[in-house]
Amino acid sequence: MMTGALAALSLWATPLAAQSVDASNTQGCELHVWPSQGLHSVYYGWVHGGINDGAVKGQNGYPKVDGAPLAIDQQHVLLADAHPERALDRSNYKLVIHTEALSSSDIRGATGRLSQSTSPCYAELIIEDVFFQQDVFSGSFLKTMVRFRDFGSATTPTRVFGTWVHTALAHVPANPGDAPQLAADDLQQAYRNNLSLFAEALNKPAKSARK
């Protein structure tokens, strides 16, 4: 049950590095979306652990996890199917999904738009990191760092929001007797669910100040 929250690209994406998915808008608004570099892994066990990609690299002493279901090309498909412009309450925005990932330094160092778009209303959704995390105490999760930057018509963002979201995994690492496809489906469904959890967190009303 679900529970919830690079070939490197230069700072300016070229038109060839993105695909327009939805051309239904009439105002020229655009939501630009970038996938992450792919699946990483972190393990917390009794005698060793840490962020070292032991699971996705198949190192001895770590559970083996296939990162192919969340490779960049697969994320591209998942993002298109998820229609984040709807979840983010921007259904009139054209969805533009970039085919390459951004580096963390580009993401965190950017002050202006991460694409060359001159759209009069513009926003960005960035999947910065995706981790498989296994903890001997609490189980397995897919954790995703997602960032949103809303520019409106400005050249600098008027709102910036980022957070980790996570979803429990039932078939990663694979259980004895599991069909191979179960793990792939589990990862991809968790990825979709994390996008939904992020949208919920982004759209949540701000807490009123205490008196």
The DSSP-derived string for 55-119 is HHHT-TTS-----GGGSHHHHHHHHHHH-HHHHTT-TTSEEEEESSEEPHHHHHH--S-SB----
Tell me the pTM: 0.82
Classify domain 8-203 by CATH architecture: 3-Layer(aba) Sandwich (3.40)
pLDDT for res 44: 77
All residues at 6 or more sequence positions from 182 whose CB lies less than 8 Å from its CB, including other chains: 171, 174
Place of tokens 């979201």: 165
- Cβ(133)–Cβ(41) under 8 Å? yes
pLDDT of residue 51: 57
CA distance 45 to 103: 29
pLDDT, residue 207, reads: 67
Q: What pLDDT does residue 15 have?
A: 32
Lookup: tokens for 184: 């792939």
**Secondary structure (3-state) at 165:** strand
pLDDT at 3: 41
Is residue 21 within 8 Å of 81, Cβ to Cβ? no
CB of 204 within 8 A of CB of 42?
Answer: no
The tokens describing 2, both together, are: 């679900």
Which residues on neighbouring strands pair with residue 133, listed in sequence order?
A: 42, 141
- Give the CA angle between residues 107, 79, 5 to the nearest 5°: 70
Segments of the chain with pLDDT less than 70 = 1-26, 45-51, 53-54, 57-59, 61, 206-211
Which pLDDT score is estimated for 55?
A: 74
* pLDDT for 174: 86
Q: Distance between CA atoms of 188 and 182, rounded to whole angstroms?
A: 10
Domain boundaries, the chain: 8-203
